[in-house]
Amino acid sequence: MHTAKVSKKGQIVIPATIRKKLGLKKGMKVVVIENATGVFVQPLDRKYFDQFAGILPKKGRAVDALLRDRQRDSN
């Protein structure tokens, strides 16, 4: 278990051992998710986005709807 202190600006330092394990490098983005018990931090990488693959019912369906809406709005 590791501990960290919150700064005046609300910043925390992720311990080096955890950064290395997760492959976090300077400048990388992370997603911060709040749940009922606390906060979860995850690298904003391909693995993060892959978890959403397949949640739409049909490939291209959302894009088609967006294009229809834009076409309708331009008339």
Evaluate if residue 9 carries a pLDDT over 90.
yes
Q: What is the pLDDT of residues 10-68, one digit of tens each?
A: 999 999 999 999 889 999 889 898 999 999 888 887 777 777 777 666 666 777 778 88
Sorted by sequence, the CB contacts under 8 Å of residue 38 that are 6+ apart come out as: none
Angle at 16 between CA 22 and CA 40, to 5 degrees: 50
Q: Where are the domains of the chain?
A: 16-74
**Predicted local distance difference test score (pLDDT) of residue 74:** 77
pLDDT at 56: 66
pTM: 0.56
